[in-house]
Amino acid sequence: MRFTKMHGLGNDYVYVDCFNQPPPRDAAGLARVISDRHFGVGSDGLILIGPSERADARMRMFNADGSEAEMCGNGVRCVAKYVYDHGIAVKPRLTIETGNGVLTLDLDVNNGKVERVTVDMGPPILEADKIPTTLPGPRIVDQFLDFSEGPLKHSFVEANGVDPRLTCVSMGNPHVVIYCPDVSKIPLERIGPMIETASIFPDRINVHFVQVHSPSEVTMRTWERGSGVTLACGTGACAVAVAGVLTGRSARRIVAHLPGGDLDLNWSEADDHVYMTGPAVEVFSGEWPS
């Protein structure tokens, strides 16, 4: 099986071209073994690129633990780059079918290769039951919790200066945003999985700690559902942009600094859609034994 390794800001996936070869029989199992950073290729997951009856291509995404996810913002930018660079659909605007519907992507092309991509991520989903979370809605915006128990217990909140309020947003996949004065001090490897699997999030959740520098600039760190600590999360950055507006902490246009680089975000007042712009990079191609 031929594959291509690609990344968006270090959020790396193994991509399989299912236009020119059959899709893997067990995509979830393949995701687990090929993502292993010691015994496999190494990645945050597996993404299949195949034909679509509704768009230029279809994307299916599997996390490193084999679970299938609805959407990946960094991943879909790389899908667009692959589709253009490999001649599947060579045009400046592409449509990609995802688990969150068909997305439109505008390509920044230099010397025949895609360098940056702007994705119309669509409108955010804010209803509590659609995110989903069992927290009382209709929206979860700066909602205080009882931190006497659970992963965000008082000792953690106080020791790290964490704002004890949660904001939840779905960009086709679920996100919780938590603010703090210094994201570098958060023990993400310990606290991330506990929040991800908390009972208030029935489908698990992507966890983001955010430090606000100004109304137009934030820094964030992510624990990604099914993958762990990642260098970037595109849908998460979109959720952070939305959460900042909802809570009055940031403007509709922001730059988000992630460990792997920067994303430009715009929650448009004109159409309620979130627009994300960032790079897409092809690293290498290889062959995996079928």
- The pLDDT tens digits for 198-225 are 999 999 999 999 999 999 999 999 999 9
pLDDT band at 162 (very low <50, low <70, confident <90, very high): confident
Active site residue 18: no
Where along the chain do the CATH 3.10.310.10 domains lie?
Answer: 2-120+278-287, 128-272
pLDDT of res. 155: 61
> How many whole angstroms separate alpha carbon 200 and alpha carbon 202?
6
Angle made by CA atoms 262, 59, 95, in degrees to the nearest 5: 75
Active site residue 168: no
For 68-87, write each residue's pLDDT tens digit: 988 999 999 999 999 999 99
> Of 72, 168, 180, 238, which residue is the catalytic one?
72
Q: Determine the topology of domain 128-272 in CATH.
A: Diaminopimelate Epimerase; Chain A, domain 1 (3.10.310)
Q: How many CA atoms lie within 13 A of 184 on its CB side?
A: 2
> Of 78, 168, 180, 233, which residue is the catalytic one?
233
Q: Could you tell me which of 136, 75, 92 has the C-alpha nearest to residue 281?
A: 75
pLDDT of res. 160: 73
Question: How many C-beta atoms surround the C-beta of residue 247 within 10 A?
Answer: 16
Pick the CATH number of 2-120+278-287 from 3.10.290.10, 3.30.390.50, 3.30.390.30, 3.10.310.10: 3.10.310.10
- Omega of the bond leading into 174 within 30 degrees of 0 (cis): no
